[in-house]
């Protein structure tokens, strides 16, 4: 201890010259932040390209009440997402996706409560809140699975499209959407739906897996033996990021 005291007194410590944490955060936490920045770019690229393609298509002009699906213009989102499970045939625009938003925000709250409990070394509370967070994540994934299934199968009446086949115009009714055809609008609309919500859903899924790992290690007392619950914080950062991305997806995909 005496030797270290003499070295610090002879060499004046400088912020970026080693021995000090300039950002006052652990290596793992910093690396999680920088990973999240790179993930921000990935999601921004997806959402910005959605914006570009949307601006390259004509918008629907006319009264909202008279809106019909067509592959000639970009659809109004509230006319596409209006179904809610168990309420078949009832038009409830954006209600289901609103419920999904609340589920994700709420699971973010329970996650930050788990982090707070970790600071107090309260193992039982960390377990409890991690379970709530897991429940929120799994429920969100279930909702998304239902939404995808509904989007893929389409409405009962479908949409009649005209297309050029071997030099002559033919009319055909299409139901639902996949990567090549789409009853709600231009095929690109469905492509972006699958890619953006799919990429986000994959993030939610890996978040649920990580949350389960954290819950398991808390329950077996690993972090208690280690003396701190910093892993809960790191995975918490990732989970909040998933919530953050959903806030943007919700606005730019469902509202605007």
Partner 1 sequence: MADTHVHDHGHEHGDGSEQRKAIWKTFFILSAITAVEFLIAFTLGAGLLKVAIFIGLTIVKAFYIVAEFMHLKHETKSLIWSILVPCIFVCWLLVALILEGGSIFDVR
CA 5, distance to chain mean position in Å, is 50
Rounded to the nearest whole angstrom, what is the least distance from the CB of residue 239 to partner 1 in the complex?
9
Closest CB to partner 1 among residues 111, 174: 111
| Pairing of the two strands 159-165 and 168-174 | antiparallel
Closest CB to partner 1 among residues 61, 156: 61
Rounded to the nearest whole angstrom, what is the least distance from the CB of residue 146 to partner 1 in the complex?
20
Query: b or e along 128-160 (b: 16 or more beta carbons within 10 Å of the residue's beta carbon)?
Result: bbbbbbbebbbbbbebbeebbebbeebbeeebe
Task: Give the footprint of partner 1 on this chain (CB under 8 A).
Answer: 21-27, 30, 33-34, 37, 40-41, 44-45, 48-49, 51-58, 64, 76, 78, 93-94, 98, 101-102, 105-106, 108-109, 111-113, 116-117, 119-120, 226-228, 230, 236-237, 240-241, 243-244, 247-248, 251, 255-256
Under 8 Å CB-to-CB from 6, ≥6 apart: which residues?
A: none
Rounded to the nearest whole angstrom, what is the least distance from the CB of residue 24 to partner 1 in the complex?
5
How many angstroms separate the CA atoms of 140 and 146, rounded?
10
Nearest to 64 by CA among 79, 52, 50: 79
Rounded to the nearest whole angstrom, what is the least distance from the CB of residue 119 to partner 1 in the complex?
5
Rounded to the nearest whole angstrom, what is the least distance from the CB of residue 173 to partner 1 in the complex?
26
Closest CB to partner 1 among residues 62, 166: 62
Closest CB to partner 1 among residues 44, 157: 44
Closest CB to partner 1 among residues 172, 228: 228
What dihedral do alpha carbons 90, 91, 93, 97 form, nearest 10°?
20
> How many CB atoms neighbour CB 100 within 10 A?
21
How many angstroms separate the CA atoms of 139 and 144, rounded?
9
């Amino acid at each position: 201890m005496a030797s270290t005291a003499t070295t610090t007194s002879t060499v004046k410590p400088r912020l970026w010259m080693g021995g000090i944490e300039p950002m006052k955060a652990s290596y793992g936490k910093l690396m999680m932040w920088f990973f999240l920045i790179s993930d921000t770019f990935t999601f921004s690229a997806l959402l910005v390209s959605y914006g570009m393609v949307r601006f390259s298509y004509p918008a629907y002009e006319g009264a909202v009440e008279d809106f019909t699906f067509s592959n000639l213009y970009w659809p109004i989102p509230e006319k596409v997402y209006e179904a809610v499970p168990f309420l078949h045939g009832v038009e409830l625009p954006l209600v289901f996706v609103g419920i999904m938003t609340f589920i994700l925000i709420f699971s973010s709250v329970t996650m930050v409560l788990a982090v707070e409990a970790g600071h107090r070394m309260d193992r039982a509370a960390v377990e409890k809140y991690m379970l709530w967070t897991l429940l929120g994540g799994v429920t969100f994934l279930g909702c998304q699975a239902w939404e995808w299934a509904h989007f893929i199968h389409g409405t009962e009446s479908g949409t009649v499209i005209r297309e050029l086949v071997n030099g002559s115009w033919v009319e055909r009714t299409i139901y639902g959407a996949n990567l090549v055809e789409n009853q709600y609008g231009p095929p690109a609309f469905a492509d972006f739906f699958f890619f953006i919500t799919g990429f986000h859903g994959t993030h939610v899924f890996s978040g649920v897996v990580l949350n389960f790992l954290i819950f398991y290690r808390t329950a077996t007392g690993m972090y208690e033996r280690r003396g701190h619950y910093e892993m809960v914080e790191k995975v918490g950062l990732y989970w909040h990021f998933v919530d953050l991305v959903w806030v943007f997806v919700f606005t730019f995909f469902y509202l605007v």
